[in-house]
Copies of this chain bind each other. A is one copy, B any other.
Amino acid sequence: MLFKLSSYSLITGNISLEFIIAGIAIVFFVIGISINKKVLHKKTIPTKDIDHKKIEALGLSKREYEVLCEVASGLSNKEIADKLFVSESTIKTHVSNILVKLDAKRRTQAIQIAKELQILRF
């Protein structure tokens, strides 16, 4: 196919040779991109860094975000309380506020939403 194209360029003359070469370059440039995307990077997903601006925009305080991370790691309120040296009551308050700010009904949903918002790592 490549040789047919080059033969065709000989027939049409030198006038549009630059355009043909440029066309080939563009085609293979695109092929290179798509090959790389579909073959070599078949098993990748984009992972952006944590969006600190979005955390602020949501009105999440430093402590609330800290609690959110622990929730996402699978800890119970009591376990988080012990880890952060506060009462379970305090964690409950934080979690409640987190749910409101993330518009979630449950902590599991909060985790999902937080990840979609790129507030939490995967």
> Residues of A at under 8 Å CB distance from B?
2-3, 5-6, 9-10, 14, 17-18, 21-22, 24-33, 35-37, 40-41, 43-49, 71-76, 104-113, 115, 122
Contact = CB atoms under 8 A, between A and B. Distances in A.
> How many copies of the polypeptide does the oligomer hold?
2
A76 B49 contact: no
Contacts of A105: 76
21 contacts: A2-B25, A9-B17, A21-B21, A25-B27, A28-B29, A28-B32, A32-B32, A33-B35, A37-B40, A41-B46, A43-B46, A43-B47, A43-B48, A43-B49, A44-B44, A45-B47, A72-B108, A76-B105, A76-B106, A107-B108, A111-B111
